[in-house]
């Protein structure tokens, strides 16, 4: 049996250290792009940029909040309708008509 050696490849070159000397969190798995989740900004943004970012964040939160409430209300209505179909009448006992048993006890 002849022993065949596989050609070895040199290790990949290491990336130079980031400027600024800050330690950055690496993305697990080394995904695409620069490999950093949220790199720090080189300079402090001006007030107008921060204001725009804040307004964008508030709009996003408001949108998600209203969508969550809308979804919850629709889910509640759907479960109520499903309960009505399964039971054949109002599934909420507090809204149900008094039973004949209770009337008979009071009258008797």
CA gap 103, 20 in Å, rounded: 83
Among 25-29, 44-48, 88-92, whose mean pLDDT is lowest?
25-29
Domain segments of the chain: what residues?
47-107
Residue 53 has pLDDT above 90, yes or no: yes
80 contacts 95 by C-beta, under 8 angstroms: no
Residue 45 has pLDDT above 70, yes or no: yes
Residue 105 to residues 6, 10, 42, 99, 101: CA-CA distances in angstroms?
94, 93, 81, 11, 6
What SS3 state is found at 90? coil
37 contacts 25 by C-beta, under 8 angstroms: yes
Report the pLDDT value the prediction gives residue 90, as an integer from 0 to 100: 79
To which H or E segment does residue 31 belong? Answer: none
Quick one: the chain helix, strand, coil %, rounded to 5?
50, 0, 50
Q: Model pTM greater than 0.75?
A: no
3-41: pLDDT as tens digits: 566 666 666 666 655 555 555 555 555 555 567 788 888
Average pLDDT over residues 63-72: 97
Output the average pLDDT for the chain: 77
């Amino acid at each position: 049996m002849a022993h065949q050696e596989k050609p070895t490849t040199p290790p990949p070159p290491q990336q130079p250290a980031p400027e600024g000397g800050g330690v950055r969190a690496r993305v697990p798995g080394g995904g695409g792009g620069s490999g950093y989740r949220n790199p720090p900004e080189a300079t402090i943004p001006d007030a107008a940029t921060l204001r725009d970012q804040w307004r964008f964040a508030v709009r996003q939160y408001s949108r998600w909040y209203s969508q969550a409430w809308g979804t919850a209300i629709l889910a509640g209505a759907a479960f109520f309708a499903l309960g009505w179909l399964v039971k054949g009448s109002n599934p909420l006992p507090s809204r149900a008509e008094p039973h004949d048993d209770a009337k008979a006890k009071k009258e008797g």
